[in-house]
């Protein structure tokens, strides 16, 4: 069946009729929506929407993550042929998933961006589906969290990252990817006592009560211990999962703006995400994929796998049969 489909399927981003199902379009051809899902703004009957946030004007070092959503979509063309390995379920068959396209915004009015992003996510949530976002730099998570907190109240945050993003900054008009978590705590979007950061390996003066599994602890105590600790911290509360690709060591994800050595291997990240199956995930994102600094699409491929696993986690929480 797959071989026969491969002979005729092309540009499924525009031609596919069903919102469910695997895809067998040649990985090297056609329009590159995420996982070959249909591009549409019609959210009728949709379980989960994928949207791109091509914004990188909050970075402290290298720009380029505005190209992240496009690169992640291209890399995801390798993945929709089979059910995801190791999950035991098939979210592409069991959920109606669409690619909602990228957020539109005026790049020359940066101060308008945060409210525009919150409104973008709010509009999708109001229509019913969950949302997984493709960044973009890590600042984008803060306006996204505002929309989720409007719907769910203060969230538990699971943050995979090399950096805590807890730099002190009480000026809410500043747009800085190093202060995303600080603002989220200070404005009550997340509950620090039930939130956890995994993979941290840069200095932080004050974690503001957020729990931390830093990279040395992860390497010393192992993945299973980190999974157990994270699950105990979050419990069954509504949680949002944000994955900064620099949580991975630069050997596995060179294409990012602020790389830090000593990070996770890709196998550790995969095991951690699968070990979180069953948490009450309401949304998530993958951010900081910067194609200008990538090599052989390594970082984009990693980002596409993370996003696919976030879909799996959402599926486990809401639609698993």
To the question of whether residue 163 is assigned a binding role by annotation, the answer is yes
Inter-CA distances, 35 with 5, 70, 153, Å:
16, 12, 31
To the question of whether residue 318 is assigned a binding role by annotation, the answer is no
How many angstroms separate the CA atoms of 177 and 105, rounded? 18
To the question of whether residue 138 is assigned a binding role by annotation, the answer is yes
Residue ranges of the alpha helices (H) in the chain?
2-8, 12-15, 68-76, 91-94, 113-127, 141-152, 180-186, 215-221, 223-234, 266-275, 298-318
How many angstroms separate the CA atoms of 247 and 238, rounded? 23
HSE toward the beta carbon, residue 85, CA cutoff 13 A: 6
- The secondary structure of residue 248, as a DSSP letter, is B
How many angstroms separate the CA atoms of 209 and 197, rounded? 11
C-alpha torsion angle, residues 192, 195, 200, 204 (rounded to 10):
0
Neighbours of 225 (CB within 10 A): 13
To the question of whether residue 5 is assigned a binding role by annotation, the answer is no
To the question of whether residue 246 is assigned a binding role by annotation, the answer is yes
> CA nearest 128: which of 100, 157, 94, 159?
100
Query: Which tokens belong to 207?
Result: 């974690």
**Residue carrying structure tokens 């799996």:** 312
To the question of whether residue 56 is assigned a binding role by annotation, the answer is no
Binding-site residues for Mn(2+), in ranges, read 138, 161, 163, 165, 244, 246
Binding-site residues, in ranges, read 138, 161, 163, 165, 244, 246
């Amino acid at each position: 069946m797959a071989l026969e489909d491969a002979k005729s399927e092309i540009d499924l981003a525009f031609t596919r009729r069903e919102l469910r199902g695997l895809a067998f379009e040649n990985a090297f051809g056609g329009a590159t929506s995420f996982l070959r899902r249909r591009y549409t703004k019609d959210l009728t009957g949709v379980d989960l929407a994928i949207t791109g946030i091509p914004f990188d004007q909050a970075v402290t070092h290298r720009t380029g993550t505005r190209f992240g959503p496009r690169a992640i979509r291209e890399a995801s063309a390798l993945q929709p042929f089979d059910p995801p390995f190791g999950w035991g379920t098939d979210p592409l068959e069991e959920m109606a998933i669409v690619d909602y396209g990228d957020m539109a915004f005026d790049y020359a009015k940066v101060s308008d961006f945060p409210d525009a992003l919150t409104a973008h996510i709010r509009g999708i949530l109001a229509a019913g589906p969950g949302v997984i976002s493709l960044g973009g730099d890590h600042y984008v998570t803060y306006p996204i969290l505002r929309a989720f907190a409007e719907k769910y109240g203060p969230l538990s945050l699971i943050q995979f990252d090399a950096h805590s993003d807890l730099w002190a900054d009480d000026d809410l008009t500043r747009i800085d990817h190093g202060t995303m978590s600080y603002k989220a705590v200070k404005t009550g979007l997340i509950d620090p006592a039930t939130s956890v950061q995994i993979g941290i390996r840069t200095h932080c003066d004050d974690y503001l009560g957020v729990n931390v599994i830093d990279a040395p602890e992860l390497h010393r105590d192992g993945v299973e211990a980190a999974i157990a600790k994270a699950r105990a911290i979050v419990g069954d509360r509504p949680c949002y999962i944000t994955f900064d690709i620099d949580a991975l060591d630069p050997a596995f994800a060179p294409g990012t703006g602020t790389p830090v050595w000593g990070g996770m291997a890709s196998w550790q990240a995969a095991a951690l995400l699968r070990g979180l199956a069953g948490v009450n995930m309401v949304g998530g994102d993958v951010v900081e994929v910067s194609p200008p600094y990538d090599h052989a699409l390594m970082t984009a491929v990693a980002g596409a796998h993370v996003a696919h696993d976030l879909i799996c986690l959402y599926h486990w929480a809401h639609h698993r049969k």
